[in-house]
Amino acid sequence: MTKSLSDIYTTLPEARDPGAATPDAVAKADFNARHWSSPVAGPLKPGSPEHKKAVADMFRETFNPYKPSVIEWPELDAETLQRVTSLPIWDIAVQTEGKARLRMAAYARLIDDPDMKDALSRNAWEENRHKEVLSKMVAAYNIPLASEPPYIEPRDVEWAYMVTGFSECVDSFFAFGLFAIAQKSAFFPPVLIDTFEPVMQEECRHILLFANWLAWHRATMPWWKRPWFEARVLGVWFFLLYERLGMVTTFDADGNKHEQDNNFTVNGTKEVADVDVKLRDMIDICLIENERRFSGYDPRLARPKLAPNLARLIRFFLPRTPNSASLESQPGAA
């Protein structure tokens, strides 16, 4: 019997002890989520059984069992609470995770390879957990959200999966930098930063999985399908560029119109720090954080390259800003 998409994104492939998410187990899992290498010697060539198994093993063995239902959201002072609740991201963040879990589950159900199906099913489950984390947080801090629109199963499953995957690669690259800026500027309390740290590392694992799925998929498809696939990849990038050219209009479940900023991860530094971070400095931070988050994974696995390479290209043409404000000079900087 074919599983429903909700069955895939709400159920892990194996049963887990509800009491297994002890603080010690979560701490150990958090370490494992940042340090993983395949025991297989030699290269992990995309398309090979060794590469495919390593990707699936990585995603399964770096799982963190933290539970959104038991997260103790810290009490925030009035100023910090205002900072959190005023960020213009919560509607789109919750809805993005809602769409991502559906698209990951739909693609997992579509493919036949057991290793990749297992990894993508877990990815869908973790996207659903991210949505739960956000939902618990907005409830804890009484953040008003628009009513969520219905989540509709995509007609073109592979296209929807690639849109989500490539979008996460771009957004995560900049989100890593924003998160570091928020931490160093002490704009948010350390306890809140610590609460979201496992979620940020999971995003790193997600785009690592996507990059290696892409390498595997390209290597294993028949040669005559490759030109059409590459045309679709190019089409996805044009779609994402169009999406980010400005505000995107959406409608909630009640038919109300909303304007959402899909570029917050790029232009949101003023929202998470009291210091003006120049674009060149922002790119430097993103590149450092991107490298740091990926550094613990087997270097033979593919990494997302386009976002950091484009960032380096843009940085080359930006003037140096020796007198720009430094995060390290701010009170409370880490």
Question: And the tokens for 131?
Answer: 């949505």
CA distance 212 to 116: 10
The better pLDDT of the pair 74, 19 is held by 74
Whether the model pTM is above 0.85: yes
pLDDT of residue 273: 60
Q: 237: which 2 tokens?
A: 């990038």
| pLDDT attached to residue 153 | 92
**What's the pLDDT at 246?**
59
Helices (H), 62-113: 78-86, 90-110
What's the pLDDT score for residue 172? 94
pLDDT digits (tens, 9 = 90+) for 218-252: 999 999 999 999 999 999 999 998 887 754 555 55
With a cut of 80, say whether residue 76 has pLDDT above it.
yes
Q: How many residues does the chain have?
A: 334
Least confident of 32-41, 61-70, 224-233: 61-70
Helices 226-243, 157-184: axis angle to 10 degrees equals 50
- Report whether pLDDT(331) > 80: no
> pLDDT tier at 272 (50, 70, 90 boundaries)?
low
Q: Per-residue pLDDT tens for 164-190?
A: 999 999 999 999 998 998 888 877 788
Among residues 262, 68, 87, the alpha carbon closest in space to that of 174 is found at 262
Q: What is the pLDDT of residues 289-328, one digit of tens each?
A: 999 999 999 999 999 999 999 999 999 998 886 655 455 5
Torsion on CA atoms 74, 59, 204, 241, rounded to nearest 10: -120
Dihedral through CA 173, CA 197, CA 134, CA 130, nearest 10?
70
The pLDDT value recorded for residue 286 is 95
Cβ atoms of 232 and 221 closer than 8 Å:
no
In this model, does residue 108 exceed pLDDT 90? Answer: yes
Structural domain boundaries in the chain: 44-329
CB count in 10 Å sphere of residue 41 = 6
What percentage of the chain's residues is helix, strand, coil (to nearest 5)?
60, 5, 35
pLDDT in tens, 147-162: 888 899 999 999 999 9
- For residue range 84-105, what is the model confidence (pLDDT) as tens digits? 888 878 888 899 999 999 999 9
The rounded percent of the chain whose pLDDT value lies above 90 is 58
Using alpha carbons, list the distances in angstroms from residue 110 to 46, 179, 223. Answer: 20, 34, 21
- Looking at residue 149, its pLDDT comes to 86
Please name the residue that has the structure tokens 């690259």.
Answer: 173
Q: How far apart are CA 27 and CA 256, in angstroms?
A: 43
For 45, half-sphere exposure in the C-beta direction (CA atoms, 13 angstrom radius) is: 5
What is the C-alpha separation between 195 and 24, in angstroms, rounded?
16
For residues 6, 9, 11, 12, the Cα torsion angle rounded to the nearest 10 degrees is 160
Cα three-residue angle 191-36-55, rounded to 5 degrees: 115
Burial 285-313 (b: 16+ CB within 10 A, else e): bbbebbeebbebbbeebbbbeebbeebee
CB 204 within 8 A of CB 278: no
Residue whose token pair is 């490539």: 166
125 vs 22, residue with greater confidence: 125
Label residue 17 by pLDDT band (50, 70, 90): low
CATH for 44-329 is: 1.10.620
Copy the structure tokens of residue 225.
Answer: 């399908």
6-20, 250-264, 287-301 — which one is most confidently predicted on average?
287-301
Question: 264 falls in which pLDDT band (50, 70, 90)?
Answer: low
Residue 333: per-residue pLDDT: 40
Contact call for residues 265 and 289 (beta carbons, < 8 A): no
Average pLDDT value over all residues in the chain: 86
Helical pair 306-316 and 279-294, crossing angle rounded to 10 deg: 150
Query: Are the C-beta atoms of 159 and 260 separated by less than 8 Å?
Result: no
